Structure 1
Amino acid sequence: MNSWARLALGATTTGAATVAYAAGIERRRWTLRETTLPVLAADSRPLRILHISDLHLMPTQHSKQRWVAALAALEPDLVVNTGDNLAHPRAVPAVIAALGPLLERPGLFVFGSNDYFGPTPKNPARYLTKSNRRVHGEPLPWRDLRAAMIERGWLDATHARVELDVAGVPVAAAGVDDPHLGLDRYDRIAGGPTGRPGLRLGLTHSPEPHVLDCFAGDGYDLVMAGHTHGGQLRVPGYGALTTNCGLDRARARGASRWGAHTWLHVSAGLGTSPFAPVRFACPPEASLLTLVPRTVGTSHQSTTPAKAVADVS
C-alpha cells in the first residue's frame, strides 16, 4: 500500500470513528453546566434557575426523559424552558413525563419553531450559509403542550409580561415568540418592567441580536435563549461553526454580556433533529444558573459532565 492510500485509509477510518462517536456517544452524554451570574438587585437573596431548552424529544428517547426528570433533585427556585421541546407529533406525553417533577417548581416558558412544526431533512451545508428560506414540517400539537404546562402551574411568557415571587425575590419576566420564524412582536411587551423587581428577565427561543437589543434597551438584567445547540458540531480550538441565527459564534453557548448592563445566557440544549443526530465537542446540556446580587461582581462558569446513559432508542 503506497503512502497516498495509507493516508486515504487513515482519513476514512478517522472520519468514520468521529461520526460514530458523535452519533453514538456524544449526543447522549447528558451534561449539567453551572454558572454564577451577578444580575440581582443588591438586597436580593441568591436564586437558582434551571435552564432547559431544545429537548427535540422523540417518544422513544427514554434515557433523556429520565435524566431531565432527575434534574428536579437540584431543587431549583425557578425553571425556564426556552422552547423546541417536540420532535414528533406524539411527543407531548413524553415531554410532560420528562418535565413532570420540574412542573412542581415555578416555571416560565416560550416556544420555538420545533414546537410548532416537525423537523425535516436538510442539507447540512445550509447551516453554514445565510438563508431566509424556511422549510416547515408537519404541524405539531403545541397547544396541547402549552395547556399541559399551564395546567401544572407554569407561565407562558410569550408576548406577555408576568410577575411572580420566586423564593422571596420579585421577578418581572417577559418573552417573545420565536424570532427564527419571524414571530417576535417585541412591541407587545416594550417599555420594560415597572417597579423595582429583584430580577428583570427576558425570554426568547432564538437569540437574534435585534431582540436582544430590545431587551437590553428596556433594562432587562438577564435574557435567556436556546436554539443554537451550542453549534452542535464544534471544532476544538475554534468553537462553533455556526449558530443558525444572527448571533456571533463566540456566544453560541453559555453566558456573555450584551451591552453595558444585560447578561445573555444561551443553552446548548439537550437534543438534535432526528435527521441530524450528531454532536461533537458539544454534549447535550441543561444549565443551573446561580444568580447573585450585582454587587458580587464577577461571573463563573463550569461544566460538569453527568454519567453517560445509553439511549436504546
Structure 2
Amino acid sequence: MQDIIKKLAALTGTAALSGIAAAAWGYRELTNFQLHEYTLPRLSTTALKRLENGTEFRILHISDLHMIPGQEEKIAFVQALAEFKPDLVVNTGDNLSDLHAVPAVIRALEPLLPLPGLFVFGTNDYWAPRFSNPLKYLTGTKREPSYVDLPWQGMRAAFIEHGWLDANNKRQEFTASGLRLAVAGVDDPHHNLDNYPAIAGAPNPQADLNLALLHSPEPRVLRKFAADGYDLALAGHTHGGQICLPGERAIITNCGIDRARASGLSVFDDMLLHVSNGLGTSKYAPIRLFCPPSATLLRFTAQP
C-alpha cells in the first residue's frame, strides 16, 4: 500500500509540475506576436490599373487587442505594423480589457490611424471583462457580459476623428489607393447586437472589392453575407481557440463557427472568410497555448 501511495504522490507531483510549466509557457506566449500573410489573386485587370502602386492592395486585419495599461510590447508590435504600408486597416473589435485602456489603444494604433480604416466592435469594447470559471470556456458555455461600461465612446470618437469609418450595422463605400470598396458590417452578433436588415442586400456591383465585417464569426450572419455576394468576411473573437492542441488546432471556438475555421483563411458558402487569432486575451485569462497572438496582412493581386 505504501508503494502505491508513493507512486500516486509522484504522479500527482509530476502532473502539477507539468501544469505549472504549461501555464508559464502559455503566459510567455502572450508576447510572441506574429504577422500572418496571405496572397489572394482576386483583382480584375481594370481594378489593378486603378491601383496607385499597380501591383497589389494590402489589407491589415487586427482584432482582439484586449488592451491593458502597461502592455508596451503589444503597443510596439502594433505600431511597427505601419511599416508594411497597408492600403486599408480593418479592426474587428474587442480593443479593451480595462477601464483605463483607451489611451494605450490609441498609442498602439497611432501610426495606423492616418490610413484608411474601418472598425466594428465586440462586447469587450462596451463592457468590462470579468472573472469566470475557465471550465465554462472549455465546455463552450456562453458567458453573460458584465454590463460594466467601458469608455468606448471616446475610443470611437478618436477613430472617427482620424478618418476611420464605423461599420457597426452600417454600409460604407469609398476609395482607397485607387480601389473602389463596398463594405458592410454588423455589431457583435455573439450577443445579438447585430442588425442585418439595416445592411441587407448585394454590395455595389461597381466596387472592385466588397468586404463584410463582424466581430464574432457566427454562421447565421456569415450565411447572409455570403448569400448577398460579399467577396471576403473579416472577423475575430475566437482568439484562434486560445488554448489549442499542437498545430494551432482549436479545442473550442467560443462561438458558432466550427473549429476548422477558428483561425486563418477558409471558404464559407463560396465566400472567403478570415478569422484573426487576435493580439490579446482577457486580463482574467492571460494564457495562450499553441496559438500565438497575431495580426494578418492580406495581399490582393491580379486574377490569374
Quickly name the TM-score band, shorter chain normalised: over 0.9
Establish whether residue 286 from structure 1 lines up as the match of residue 295 from structure 2. yes
Cα distance in 1, alignment partners of residues 233 and 137 from structure 2: 24
* 1:12 lines up with 2:16 in the alignment: yes
1:2-41 residue pairs with structure 2 within 5 A? Answer: 2-23=6-27, 25-41=28-44
- Equivalent of 1:72 in 43, 68, 82: 82
Match of 2:108 in 1: 98
Aligned residue for 1:67, secondary structure, equals helix
2:183 is the alignment partner of 1:173: yes
- Give the AA of the match of 2:289: F
CA displacement, residues 235-265 of structure 1 (integer Å, 9 cap, x when unaligned)? 11581111100000111100000112x1000
**Match in the other structure for 2:283:** 274
The change in CA–CA distance for 1:292 and 1:128 in structure 2 (over 3 A counts) is same
Q: 2:266 aligns with which of 235, 256, 266?
A: 256
**Aligned residues of 2:126 and 2:151 also touching (Cα < 8 A):** yes
Cα deviation digits, residues 139-161 of structure 1 (max 9, x gap): 01111111000000111111111
Residue in 2 that maps onto 1:44: 47
Alpha carbons of 1:128 and 1:39: their partners in 2 closer, same or farther (altered >3 Å)? farther
* Conserved 8 A contact 1:39-1:222: no
For 1:43, what is the secondary structure of its paired residue?
helix
**Kindly tell me: are residues 207 and 144 of structure 1, through their superposed partners in 2, closer, same or farther at Cα, counting changes over 3 Å?**
same
Q: Secondary structure at the match of 1:104?
A: coil
- 8 A contact 2:140–2:252 mirrored in 1: no
SS in 2 for 1:70: helix
Q: Is 1:206 equivalent to 2:227 in the alignment?
A: no
Match of 2:98, SS? coil
Deviation at 1:52, TM superposition (A): 0.5
Identify the residue that residue 64 of structure 2 maps to in structure 1. Answer: 54
Q: Secondary structure at the match of 1:224?
A: strand
The number of aligned residues is: 293
> Out of 262, 265, 269, which is 2:274 matched to?
265
Indicate the residue corresponding to 1:216 in structure 2. 226
Q: Deviations over 1:174-232 (max 9, x none)?
A: 10000011010111000121232110100000000011001000000000000000000
How many Å apart are 1:50 and its aligned residue?
Answer: 0.5
1:79-114: per-residue Cα shift (whole Å, max 9, x none)? 000000011111111111100000011100000000
| Residue identity in the other structure for 1:244 | N
User: 1:63 aligns to what SS in structure 2?
Assistant: helix
CA RMSD of the aligned region, Å? 1.5
* Larger Cα-atom Rg: 2
Compute the TM-score of the two structures, normalised by the length of structure 2: 0.92
Tell me: higher relative CO, structure 1 or 2? Use CA pairs within 8 A at least 6 residues apart: 1
Kept after mapping to 2: 8 A contact 1:44/1:292: no
| Distance (Å, rounded) in 2 between the aligned partners of 1:121 and 1:188 | 34
Q: SS where residue 111 of structure 2 aligns? A: helix
Match of 2:257 among 229, 247, 250: 247
8 Å CA contact 1:53, 1:84 repeated in 2? yes
Q: In percent, how many aligned pairs have the same letter?
A: 53
Q: Helix, strand or coil for the counterpart of 2:112?
A: helix
CA contact (8 A) 2:140 2:253 kept: no
1:111 matched residue in structure 2:
121
1:262-304 residue CA offsets vs partner (Å, 9 max, x unmatched): 10000010000000000011011111111224x33xxxxxxxx
Matches within 5 A, 1:149-188: 149-188=159-198
